[in-house]
Amino acid sequence: MAELFSSLQIKGLTLKNRLVMPPMALDNAAENGEITEEQIDHYTVRARPDNILNTGIGLIIVEHTFIHPKGKSHVRQLGIDDDAKISGLKYMTEAVHQEGVPLGIQITHAGARALYNPVAPSAEFCPHIIRNKPMTDPNDPPHELTVAEISDIIQYFADAARRAKKAGFDLIEIHGAHGYLLNQFYSPLTNKRTDNYGGSLVNRMRFPCEVISAVREAVGSDMPVFYRLGADDRLPGGTTIQDSIEAVPYFIKAGIDCLDLSGGICGYLKNGPEAFFAYMAEALKPVVHIPVLVTGGIKTVQTAVELVKNDTTDLVGVGRAMLSDPDWARNARKAVSPC
């Protein structure tokens, strides 16, 4: 039986405990996607250990970061789309590492949710996906990607992963949830293609698997690769937990080392009962042999403790509670092991 404040090994990376600050968009990068001092401060403050117990958060994953300018979803989103950004990102990894905390980064392409020139598996908007503004023409559907363009985007993911490794990140997380491009391919609500990238579940997961394989090749065999899976669209006609039970072995075979569970193709849910995605971990953890991370409205240390103790999940992501309270992880450790 694991404990919340026990260590976990993922490939060559040792986490001192099971608490994770998951990726959350801050909207405070420079307009071209460069890192800012404000962002660096945000992460280093939450990484800082408790002075007495000398522990705090086990892992931080940096917010979704665009791999190409055309895949950018909001104006001040962080970018990892060219080599010129490596030095700024390295400054951040070094600052967080000085606090003794591993740092990952989530990489993404917005697809139909892009600011400009949206692209998608199919030339139509899913009516449930929130479309960002401004756009070239909000009345036009997104451009349906050709096979050659899909290949280009796979390379963008690989290049971004290579940059992340060079910048000193400890792991890569590929964003396949919340209605962004990889989720758009995975979901039958947004993927209406009739070629090898659409139709059956095996075809709809082809692009995500090819991205995972390319990222794995780019970073080598030792660096952990996480995948944030939109495991349940939570809409009629969308992907279901049963689909994800069938799909996850393919993702593992392609090269992932940890499954980060989320859901809702409309985007991340901001309201709901505590641990509202725990049902996904209950269904998927028994059928995988890699660690599982679950997020979703987790607010109290008691809930986090129980999720690990009951073997519902291996890692617990505490997002908005930690966003509003930088001391959440330090206080949680004191609550579990008071002096």
Q: What is the pLDDT of residues 110-167, one digit of tens each?
A: 999 998 889 999 998 766 665 554 444 556 789 999 999 999 999 999 999 999 999 9
Q: Is 180 a catalytic residue?
A: yes
Span 279-323, pLDDT tens digits: 999 999 999 999 999 999 999 999 999 999 999 999 999 999 999
186 with 239: CB under 8 angstroms?
yes
pLDDT, mean of residues 30-55:
89
Give the pLDDT of residue 94: 98
Cα 197 to its chain centre, rounded Å, is: 22
Query: Taking CA 226 as the corner, what is the angle to CA 225 and CA 231, rounded to the nearest 5 degrees?
Result: 145
As a whole-number percent, the residues of the chain with pLDDT over 70 amount to: 92
What's the confidence (pLDDT) of residue 135?
Answer: 45
Of 231, 338, 303, 255, which is closest to residue 18 (Cα–Cα)? 303
Residue 127: the pLDDT is 61
Give percent above pLDDT 90 in the chain.
84
Burial (CB < 10 A; 0-12, 13-18, 19+), residue 299, is middle
- How far apart CA 154 and CA 146 sit, in angstroms, is 12
Count, residues in the chain: 339
* Mean local confidence (pLDDT), 159-188: 97
> What is the separation of C-alpha 65 from the centre of its chain, rounded to a whole number of angstroms?
10
Sole residue written with tokens 């996906």: 129
Average pLDDT, the chain: 92
Say if residues 274 and 316 touch (Cβ distance below 8 Å): no
CA proximity to 231, closest of 181, 172, 173, 278: 278
333 three-class SS: helix
User: Which one-letter amino acid corresponds to residue 123?
Assistant: A
Q: Name the phi and psi angles at 34, rounded to 5.
A: -70, 150
Q: What is the pLDDT of residue 126?
A: 67
With cut-offs at 50, 70 and 90, classify the pLDDT of residue 54: low
Phi, psi for residue 49 in degrees, rounded to 5: -75, 165
Mean pLDDT of 179-201: 96
What is the pLDDT averaged over residues 270-274? 75
- List the helix and strand counts (H, then E) for the chain: 11, 12
The catalytic residue among 43, 116, 156, 180 is 180
Say if CB 298 and CB 304 are below 8 A apart. Answer: yes
| CA-wise closest residue to 117 among 147, 89, 137 | 137
Phi, psi (deg, nearest 5) at residue 153: -65, -35
